Structure 1
Amino acid sequence: MHRYEQHCPIARAAEVVAESWTLLIVRELLCGNECRVDIAKGLPKIAPSVLGRRLRTLESHGLVTRVVEAREVSYRLTAAGRELRPIVEQLGAWGQRWLDRPRLGDLDPELLVYDICREIDRARLPADPLTVEVDFADAPQPRRWWLILSAAEVVAGQRHPDTAAAVRVSCTLGALAGVWLGHVTWLQAVRDRAIMLAGETAAIRSLIDCLGASRFAGMARVDEPLPRPAGDRG
């Protein structure tokens, strides 16, 4: 942990939470992911050793409690950790408002599908499971994902389910991410054929109604995003 050696509360707080990956780990804990394997799903590029060190740091500073139940280890935010929620949410809102679209290299099909599935409003899901096949045209193999959406459960995976897909979605990573983040609407993406939907009309409408957009998508963005540093244009 880097020490700034200042009395300023901002500097002292930064010593605890501004280390790489730490706020993203807090984000996952705020989303209800308490086991290391579930936390890692939202952080696919973090090294297991780094995740372990960051969790231990959060625990040592009293932001996280390590709980062992039936030999299963989980991590839960303390009152101090939960108070970081508005800070994490405001950071996301700031990024949505001021930063340009994510680079292609920042897009990961598994993480995008995972993010969409965990933010679905289950109250809007159909009682009968809706099976959806998603084909990312520009993703490496395997590029197909299947979603099973219902009020009872939301399941995403790369294994073909037993039921046939009611809706097939063909798109690029950038197109689906653009809709999810609110840079374009579903209607615009479909009209531009950046996203192509196949299936019964009722099933397609149900899918669009279910998926919606990220909680940050409605954030008003500035007309001119902040410039990317030289050499960071990919």
Structure 2
Amino acid sequence: MRYEQHCPIALATEVVGEPWTLLIVRELLRGSTTFPDVAAGVPGMSTGLLIKRLRTLGTAGVVVLHPPNRPQRVELTEAGRELAAVVEQLGSWGARWLPPPRHNDLDPALLLRDMSREIDRSVLPDKAVSVHFRFTESPGPRWWWLVLSRDLAAPTIHDPRLPQAMRIDCTLGALAQVWLGHTDWLEALRDKAIVISGPRSAVREAITWLGTNRFSGSRNATDAGAPTLSS
């Protein structure tokens, strides 16, 4: 879309303001480098539209596409990497001022994908273990596993046949509420919105390993006194 204004904000919005574009940039900033991996982070987007948006970003010098016509590998340029501050600030603003996600916004694959990307792998065990999630309701498969080690953190719908560190029974909404910082782990456990089964160390390890997302601090600042939107 062309705004036909000299303002740098208008010019920048012509590049990154189209639907889905900033989510593509988000995926690239979080480490996606291949077309299939970017597509996995925007599952509601058609292949044709994703290619179109990538080409627009390529023309603007935000990314380099390999090969250019039907890209299979995508690389952020210096200009693209500078968008990190924009994306992070937008995430902080959304966490601070917007209500929790609606039920229809939740997807177990995306939630566990995001969680695995933000896990501090330095606190994980050297040898791989699994965390078994059993969602009591879900728009997709109800059984998931996170494979966790210092070398890897990744979700799967297939039993990895690894030592199981714990099992977590919950709704998808309860897990999202905790991870996004709308409630905390101990409150969810006390209310039995989340039930953790396993060795005595399971609860402590779940809180340490899974934690909350990077924007939960913004949410906590709102809860401390800033006005919020009603849901």
Q: Per the shorter chain, which TM-score range?
A: over 0.9
1:59-83 CA-partner distances (Å, limit 9, x unpaired): 0111111135xxx831111111111
For 1:170 and 1:152, the matched residues in 2 are separated by 26
Number of residue pairs the alignment of both structures matches: 225
* 1:191 alignment counterpart: 190
* 1:201 alignment counterpart: 200
Gaps of 5+ in 1: 229-234
CA separation of 1:39 and 1:108: change in aligned 2, threshold 3 A: same
Question: The residue matched to 2:195 in structure 1 has which SS?
Answer: strand
Q: Does 1:108 align with 2:107?
A: yes
**Greater shift in the superposed pair: 199-208 or 57-66:** 199-208
CA separation of 1:207 and 1:199: change in aligned 2, threshold 3 A: same
Q: Shift of residue 40 of structure 1?
A: 1.3
- Contact 1:130/1:203, CA 8 A, preserved across alignment: no
* 1:76 alignment counterpart: 75
For 2:141 and 2:88, the matched residues in 1 are separated by 33
- Contact 1:197/1:204, CA 8 A, preserved across alignment: yes
Q: Shift of residue 161 of structure 1?
A: 2.0
CA separation of 1:77 and 1:4: change in aligned 2, threshold 3 A: same
Question: The residue matched to 1:161 in structure 2 has which SS?
Answer: coil
RMSD of the alignment, in Å? 1.7
For 1:91 and 1:152, the matched residues in 2 are separated by 30
Q: Shift of residue 43 of structure 1?
A: 1.1
- The residue type equivalent to 1:210 in the other structure is W
| Sequence identity percentage | 50
- The residue type equivalent to 2:53 in the other structure is R
* 1:146 alignment counterpart: 145
- The residue type equivalent to 1:163 in the other structure is L
Listed as ranges, the matches of 1:85-104 within 5 Å are 85-104=84-103
**Greater shift in the superposed pair: 170-179 or 195-204:** 195-204
Q: Shift of residue 227 of structure 1?
A: 4.7
Q: Shift of residue 142 of structure 1?
A: 2.2
- The residue type equivalent to 1:225 in the other structure is T
TM-score by length of 1: 0.91
For 1:152 and 1:207, the matched residues in 2 are separated by 18
Q: Shift of residue 8 of structure 1?
A: 1.0
Q: Does 1:125 align with 2:142?
A: no
Gaps of 5+ in 2: none
- The residue type equivalent to 1:90 in the other structure is Q
1:38-93 CA-partner distances (Å, limit 9, x unpaired): 1112111111111110000000111111135xxx8311111111111101100000
- Contact 2:167/2:197, CA 8 A, preserved across alignment: yes
* 2:64 alignment counterpart: 65
- Contact 1:131/1:164, CA 8 A, preserved across alignment: yes
- Contact 1:146/1:161, CA 8 A, preserved across alignment: yes
- Contact 1:125/1:149, CA 8 A, preserved across alignment: yes
- Contact 1:107/1:174, CA 8 A, preserved across alignment: yes
Q: Shift of residue 204 of structure 1?
A: 3.4
Question: The residue matched to 1:218 in structure 2 has which SS?
Answer: helix
Q: Shift of residue 166 of structure 1?
A: 2.7
Question: The residue matched to 2:216 in structure 1 has which SS?
Answer: coil
* 1:42 alignment counterpart: 41
Match among 221, 224, 229 for residue 226 of structure 1: 229
CA separation of 1:159 and 1:25: change in aligned 2, threshold 3 A: same
TM-score by length of 2: 0.92
For 2:139 and 2:7, the matched residues in 1 are separated by 47
**Greater shift in the superposed pair: 166-175 or 124-133:** 124-133
* 2:9 alignment counterpart: 10
CA separation of 1:223 and 1:192: change in aligned 2, threshold 3 A: farther
For 1:128 and 1:32, the matched residues in 2 are separated by 23
* 1:163 alignment counterpart: 162
For 2:186 and 2:229, the matched residues in 1 are separated by 27
